[in-house]
Structure 1
Amino acid sequence: MTPDCNNPKHGEFNSTDRLSDLPDFIIHQIISYLRKEEAFRTSILSKRWNQIFATNSILDFYHYYNNKFTTEMIPRVLEYIDTRMQKFSKENLRMTKFKLALPANDLLLACKVDEWLEIALRNQVAEITLGGPTNYKLPHILFRAKLLKHLDCDNVEIPYYEAVDLVSLEYLNLRDVVLEERMLFHIISSCPNLKELVLKFCPGFKNLVIPRHSKLEDLYIEGHVPEDGGKVILETSSLRSFQYNTQGVNPWPIISNRGLLRNLRHLSVFGLSITGEDLAKLVPELTSLEKLKFIGCDMLSSIKISHTQLKHICLDHCDNLLNIVIDAPNLNKFKFDGDTEPSLSITIRSQANCNIHIHTYAWYFDTDGFIKLKKLLKGLNCCDVLKILFLRGSSKVS
């Protein structure tokens, strides 16, 4: 019997386009997992798919900000963005994400960006990513957006606004953003649901104060924040993760109360001016700490850590480190990466599965180097996996 090619029971090809039969909102969800270029290609499949692409709730214009666009092309790009935004405005279409970056800066463009942001907020946008032209000032309406959950800004200015009402905001990322320290304090204090705060190379702070907050869990600070001589002052006890990349200019932050960091589980610092004595005072206060990472902290010459909750310790290019003593019964991972072979003593539980990675860089490894290595290994109480990597120039010798 000849198989029926139209009957899927016979395992033959069925040409029915079941994907196109799905409701628009489900197809929008599927498209959201595609890359921007792939999502754009769906618009040429048919008139319906073109309409689906045009009404997709994710409006991503961030990729238009690159060096490939000539001055002559910019007006066409802006016209395309404006056409899509006006469609959402006229048809009152829901918008979940609005991402925008622009290659120019003038008064007319700033007014147009203000208009687009107003449309996005009016259409219930939950996430905004904005890489604006230099000196573009974020409008006041953006800080009264009660439905906004995610705000990511790069290379813009934030004036001081008295009224801030970002009651739903959970994530705030500011990179190269100019704002007063009182405005940042005001924003944090006015976002009761803020969970993650990222500050990268934001100039102008004499002191950076993180006020009391009930839900702020992740804090990342990078660059000269605050300016030389300024201080980072932590007043919140809700932090679970604190990453502090100071570019080697700042001391450890001021903690207004010794118990404020009792909930901290992950501490990562880069280039911090902290000594072994400072560390000895700090670690006992971090009673919930599980992961500790120090990178490029050259003032550390000796480390002595005793902690029952620590599971992961990483020491990366702390070039003056000569002596390491660790008593951490629950430690399961230790990594050392540097140019020297310090004296190392690690005490863990005998039944623990601890991975120890030691990466050392040397142009040659002589008898003295092996003596140091033997002393280092002798200080290890127990480990499940020990990996030692000698990097000689560009080659690896194990």
Structure 2
Amino acid sequence: MENAAAQKVEDGGRTDRISKLPKDILYHILYFMSKNEAARTCVLSKSWRRVWINRLKLTFDERSSSFDGPHRTRLFVSSVNEALQSYLDNHNIHRIEEFHLILMNNSESILLLEKWIPMLDATPIRELCLWILPKLGRKFPYVDDLPSAVFKSERLARLCLYRCKLSLEKIHFARLDRLRLSYVKFTERVFENIASSCPLITTMWFKECTWFEECDDEEVKTITLEKKLHKNLKHFTFINDRAHRMDKRRVEIHVTTLETIHVHGCTVQIHGNKFRNLKELSLGVVILLRESFDFSSRHEFPVLTSLRLHGTLRWEYLNLRMNAPELTSIRYAAQIVPAITFTSPISSRCTSDIVIFRMQTDPVSWLLDLHAFLQTISRSEIRLCMCNVLEFVERVFVENKPPVVVQVLGLSFMKNRSYYFPSFLNGMFSVCSPMIIVQESFIEGEAKSERDQKELVKFLWEFLTKRDGTFRRKQDLEGLWIDRFDTNGQHWKRALLSECVLPESKNRLRLRLKWRERKANCDDSTS
């Protein structure tokens, strides 16, 4: 009885089993708490008073509401100093897994990194993660120079900088794992040093970064990813929203072991034809050099799940043959029909969102290219959007090729161009069989105007139900219905044309079509 009583605590006579757990387990529990939550455990009992200081993950965020008030920086600095000094004074032997330090880029606390980083390097901390960020919703001037200790830290594993200037050329990031730079200015020599001094880096992320030497408008600034220097690199992102300078930014990728590639707003050159680890490929508003890829061979993407190509892609010479059996998402938006062929069937789980802005070739060639591309992704669920009515001044109809089933077809309708619309519709229906037709902006969100969708639905209904032979595939159309969206019940319900075109009607509208099955014909002739 005495032994049992000794295991009781004063709080209601319950057994305090958590305090009896091994220290390593307690530290592991605290790892998943925020710093404030972990600090509150000091009031549980005497044995918990200093446990939180030794948690596996410590985070000090200067932007936190814990430091609100006129003395924000002083309170933050005091908190960091106290934690570091306490850790050193107690000769702690427990190894902290991660120490996260988040500073505001206009704060005086940045200068204290010259003191804090050597202190952190002297502790048994496994990883130091440093962020210099703006206060939420605000912009500040550039930080001219970071303390040199930042570039010498033996513990620095993650570095995230916002609106900083880097001019120090002696850089050594022996353990850096992730690098994220936003609106950072650096010399070309600095970038080369960063790229060559990070043997363990797995993630590189650049957004709106600029070089000091950009006074020469003719000079092209290049970021090169090399096999030997970046053999551990898995994730690469480069974003440049300044379209007028995209030809002055170049990214050359020689690393074929990457898992994700996201490049926007620059010139791109990609080498190799076997990307066995690549899971995500996103190219937006890029100039893809003709030397990219090896067009004479098939490109292997055995684990690729997401393919995104968008913007004004200048790659007229691209004719890409891909083997990507695991694709689950294709997103394409550009002015031309892509010349992409999948050499093996893509997954039936794949969703394809295709947006074409205009026609740049003659109607016959354009329709044949569109049919060829739709055919190669026909196993996926296709949502096809045509932004702007194409001016088919002649009657064009692709025959002897089975139309590809399209789940959703988005069309834009302008009344002043309705003269061309029947020719365009006949051409489109000769290459695809849409199950649903909507006003084109419905694919991404709300319609541009209620009038647009009403005029489109009315025109299509009259066109598809005419018996004068205007609609070339009328014999294949088995059913036609109008649906309106019930905002109360949050579902689609059938409606009459007369109800939908009323001035007071504000419902979203769509047309549903049912097609008779057609047997495939291998004849390639067109008319």
Q: Larger deviation: 17-26 or 309-318?
A: 309-318
Cross-structure match for 1:135: 143
Q: Is the 8 A contact 2:276 2:303 kept in 1?
A: no
Q: Secondary structure of 1:338's partner? A: strand
Alpha-carbon distance change, 339 to 323 in structure 1, aligned in 2, over 3 angstroms: closer
**TM-score scaled by structure 2?**
0.58
Trace 1:387-398 onto structure 2 (pairs within 5 A): 390=438, 391=442, 393-394=446-447, 395=508, 397=510
Q: Following TM superposition, by how much is the alpha carbon of 1:281 offset from its aligned partner in structure 2, in angstroms?
A: 5.7
Cross-structure match for 2:44: 45
Cross-structure match for 2:161: 153
Partners of 1:29 and 1:156 lie apart in 2 by: 35
* Residue 232 in structure 1 maps to residue 250 in structure 2: yes
Unaligned ranges ≥5, structure 1: 1-5, 7-12, 379-385
Partners of 1:387 and 1:114 lie apart in 2 by: 64
Alpha-carbon distance change, 136 to 323 in structure 1, aligned in 2, over 3 angstroms: closer
Q: Which amino acid aligns with 2:375?
A: I
Partners of 1:156 and 1:357 lie apart in 2 by: 44
Cross-structure match for 1:91: 90
1:12-36 deviation line (CA, Å, top 9, x unaligned): x993222221233321211222345
Cross-structure match for 1:287: 300
Partners of 2:37 and 2:255 lie apart in 1 by: 44
Q: Larger deviation: 140-149 or 367-376?
A: 367-376
1:232-291 deviation line (CA, Å, top 9, x unaligned): 243643432352332xx422x245xx448655624211222349x788866947434653
Partners of 1:95 and 1:363 lie apart in 2 by: 58
Q: Which amino acid aligns with 1:221?
A: F
Cross-structure match for 1:312: 327
**Number of equivalent positions:** 369
Alpha-carbon distance change, 270 to 229 in structure 1, aligned in 2, over 3 angstroms: closer
* Residue 28 in structure 1 maps to residue 27 in structure 2: yes
Alpha-carbon distance change, 121 to 62 in structure 1, aligned in 2, over 3 angstroms: same
Cross-structure match for 1:178: 185
Candidates 335, 346, 350, aligned match of 1:331: 346
Cross-structure match for 1:250: 266
Q: Is the 8 A contact 2:105 2:132 kept in 1?
A: no
* Residue 189 in structure 1 maps to residue 204 in structure 2: no
Q: Following TM superposition, by how much is the alpha carbon of 1:60 offset from its aligned partner in structure 2, in angstroms?
A: 0.7
Q: Which amino acid aligns with 1:111?
A: L
Q: Is the 8 A contact 1:160 1:183 kept in 2?
A: yes
Q: Is the 8 A contact 1:216 1:238 kept in 2?
A: no
Q: Secondary structure of 2:19's partner? A: helix
Q: Larger deviation: 207-216 or 283-292?
A: 283-292
Cross-structure match for 1:220: 237
Partners of 1:280 and 1:55 lie apart in 2 by: 51
* Residue 126 in structure 1 maps to residue 127 in structure 2: yes
Alpha-carbon distance change, 136 to 210 in structure 1, aligned in 2, over 3 angstroms: same
Q: Is the 8 A contact 1:135 1:155 kept in 2?
A: yes
Q: Following TM superposition, by how much is the alpha carbon of 1:126 offset from its aligned partner in structure 2, in angstroms?
A: 1.0
Cross-structure match for 1:210: 225
Alpha-carbon distance change, 155 to 377 in structure 1, aligned in 2, over 3 angstroms: same
Cross-structure match for 1:78: 77
Alpha-carbon distance change, 51 to 336 in structure 1, aligned in 2, over 3 angstroms: same
Alpha-carbon distance change, 388 to 372 in structure 1, aligned in 2, over 3 angstroms: farther
Q: Larger deviation: 61-70 or 45-54?
A: 61-70
Q: Which amino acid aligns with 2:266?
A: N
Q: Following TM superposition, by how much is the alpha carbon of 1:135 offset from its aligned partner in structure 2, in angstroms?
A: 0.7
Q: Secondary structure of 1:26's partner? A: helix
Unaligned ranges ≥5, structure 2: 6-11, 135-141, 213-220, 359-369, 386-409, 415-420, 448-507, 513-527
Partners of 2:190 and 2:274 lie apart in 1 by: 24
Q: Is the 8 A contact 2:117 2:153 kept in 1?
A: no
Q: Which amino acid aligns with 1:355?
A: S
Partners of 1:358 and 1:191 lie apart in 2 by: 43
Alpha-carbon distance change, 288 to 339 in structure 1, aligned in 2, over 3 angstroms: closer
Larger Rg: 2
Cross-structure match for 1:162: 170
Partners of 1:369 and 1:150 lie apart in 2 by: 54
Candidates 245, 259, 277, aligned match of 1:241: 259
Partners of 1:236 and 1:63 lie apart in 2 by: 39
Partners of 1:309 and 1:69 lie apart in 2 by: 51
Candidates 131, 144, 147, aligned match of 2:152: 144
Q: Following TM superposition, by how much is the alpha carbon of 1:163 offset from its aligned partner in structure 2, in angstroms?
A: 5.2
Partners of 1:279 and 1:254 lie apart in 2 by: 5
Q: Secondary structure of 1:137's partner? A: coil
Partners of 1:225 and 1:144 lie apart in 2 by: 33
* Residue 268 in structure 1 maps to residue 282 in structure 2: yes
Give the fraction of aligned pairs with identical amino acids, expressed as a percent.
15
Q: Following TM superposition, by how much is the alpha carbon of 1:128 offset from its aligned partner in structure 2, in angstroms?
A: 0.9
Root-mean-square deviation (CA), in Å? 4.2
